[in-house]
């Protein structure tokens, strides 16, 4: 069976040249970067070269880039640091954040360390900036604003520059989960008022288990993980050497090919929208799919029937990989918290299709044919 993979927002295939860049550090150049002899110095140099590359691509200073195990650790570090080290007593987030943010905020709220609130959403799922400003203006203590740059389920893009300007106006700390946008969009951190952003390598054809946390150089925080002096005393533990090298190579590839790849991926997404409208009765879309939205994500709303409720299972049986909202909780019985926050319509079924540079319109045709049969 030929498999069609339309779940790239969950993870992407590792590029061959990324693996090639990693291989020497998985085999012959295996030294501990903390060692003083040549093996260690070689691998330490590889990490710093990767850091400089990532920083240059994000328009940051190398001292602002810290390598982590991925987006979840980066989000946790940023939120705890804002509370513990930067004096934030209230957190403003949204009901459609990734659970790596939502559950962290809930934890510290229930522990009594902060209070928290959520910003209102518009009908299309975008953050209501007027409500955000009102909450910031009325806050009696310093706030942390934690809002994701792009939603992983519906794809809506946050006006990150505008949010940063509001945070600057009201002296708030701003953290943005950029896991779905680092590697998919050119990001110029020198032009954004943001204190922390998170990224993950496996979202743009890099390796799993490695990510970044950008910490603005004006922010001084303590470590989240204690131990040795790795990552300039900020993140203890022997570095994920080959993961770091792979992250930098994957980001370099992504930005070098952005113009071509983004146009190609968007054309596949638009083609699927057209075909769904043409062939599937009463189809609808969650989020601002044809406005300010990720070119990689399409969240489709089908009328609820006995067949559509089993759509994910039946597509999987036919070699088609898609997700019912977020893949991070796809094994759970409960529905998507994002879709519930948007409309919570019990008569609709949401399916997320997400695309990459390897997907084709021929694959879309095959998926549409199967969806027509099942829905």
pLDDT of 134: 98
Distance from C-alpha of 22 to C-alpha of 187, rounded to nearest angstrom: 25
> What's this model's pTM, rounded to 2 decimal places?
0.95
Architecture of domain 4-12+258-374: Alpha-Beta Complex (3.90)
Task: Tell me the mean pLDDT per 10 residues along the chain, length 375.
Answer: 93 98 96 92 97 98 98 98 98 98 98 98 96 98 98 98 98 98 98 98 98 97 94 95 98 98 98 97 94 97 86 94 67 73 87 98 97 89
Q: Which residues pair with 213 in a beta bridge?
A: 66, 198
pLDDT of 334: 61
Burial of 62 (0-12, 13-18, 19+ CB in 10 A): middle
Q: Which residues pair with 23 in a beta bridge?
A: none
pLDDT of 2: 86
Q: Which of 143, 293, 328, 356 is catalytic?
A: 328
Long-range contacts formed by 43-47: CB under 8 A, 24+ apart: 43/241, 46/241, 46/244, 46/245, 47/239, 47/241, 47/244, 47/245
Contacts of 65 (CB under 8 A, 6+ apart): 51, 54, 55, 58, 212, 214
Distance from C-alpha of 246 to C-alpha of 88, rounded to nearest angstrom: 35
Distance from C-alpha of 326 to C-alpha of 296, rounded to nearest angstrom: 14
pLDDT of 1: 64
pLDDT of 353: 98
Task: Taking the CA atoms of 86, 88, 89 and 91 in sequence, report the sign of the dihedral they define.
Answer: negative
Establish whether 293 is a catalytic residue.
no
pLDDT of 329: 46
Q: Where are the domains positioned within the chain?
A: 4-12+258-374, 16-256
Q: What is the CATH number that goes with domain 16-256? A: 3.40.640.10
CB burial string 42-59: b at 16+ within 10 A, e below = bbbebbeebbebbbebbe
pLDDT of 343: 80
């Amino acid at each position: 069976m030929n498999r069609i993979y339309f779940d790239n927002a969950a993870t992407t295939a590792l590029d061959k040249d990324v693996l090639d860049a990693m291989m020497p550090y998985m085999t012959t150049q295996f030294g501990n970067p903390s060692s003083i002899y040549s093996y260690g110095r070689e691998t330490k140099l590889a990490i710093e070269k990767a850091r400089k590359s990532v920083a240059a691509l994000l328009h940051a200073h190398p001292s602002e880039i810290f390598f982590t195990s991925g987006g979840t650790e980066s989000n946790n570090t940023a939120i705890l640091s804002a509370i513990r080290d930067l004096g934030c007593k209230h957190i403003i987030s949204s009901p459609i954040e990734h659970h790596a943010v939502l559950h962290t905020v809930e934890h510290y709220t229930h522990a009594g360390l902060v209070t928290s609130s959520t910003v209102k959403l518009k009908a299309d799922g975008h953050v209501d900036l007027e409500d955000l400003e009102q909450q910031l203006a009325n806050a009696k203590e310093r706030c942390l604003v934690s809002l994701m740059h792009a939603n992983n389920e519906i794809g809506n893009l946050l006006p990150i520059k505008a949010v940063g300007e509001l945070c600057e106006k009201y002296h708030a700390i701003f953290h943005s989960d950029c896991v779905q946008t680092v590697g998919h969009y050119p990001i110029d951190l020198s032009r954004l008022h943001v204190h922390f952003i998170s990224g993950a390598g496996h979202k743009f054809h890099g390796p799993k288990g490695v990510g970044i946390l950008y910490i603005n150089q004006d922010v001084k925080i303590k470590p989240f993980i204690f131990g040795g002096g790795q990552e300039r005393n900020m993140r203890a533990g022997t570095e994920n050497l080959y993961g770091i090298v792979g992250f930098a190579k994957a980001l370099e590839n992504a930005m070098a090919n952005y113009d071509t790849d983004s146009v190609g991926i968007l054309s596949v997404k638009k083609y699927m929208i057209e075909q769904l409208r043409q062939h599937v009765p009463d189809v609808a879309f969650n989020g601002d799919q044809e406005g300010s939205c990720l070119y990689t994500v399409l969240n489709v709303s089908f009328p609820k029937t006995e067949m559509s409720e089993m759509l994910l299972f039946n597509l999987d049986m036919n070699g088609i990989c898609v997700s019912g909202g977020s893949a991070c909780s796809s094994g759970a019985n409960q529905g998507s918290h994002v879709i519930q926050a948007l409309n919570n319509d019990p008569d609709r079924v949401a399916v997320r299709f997400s695309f990459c540079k390897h997907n084709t319109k021929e694959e879309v045709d095959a998926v549409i044919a199967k969806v027509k049969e099942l829905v």
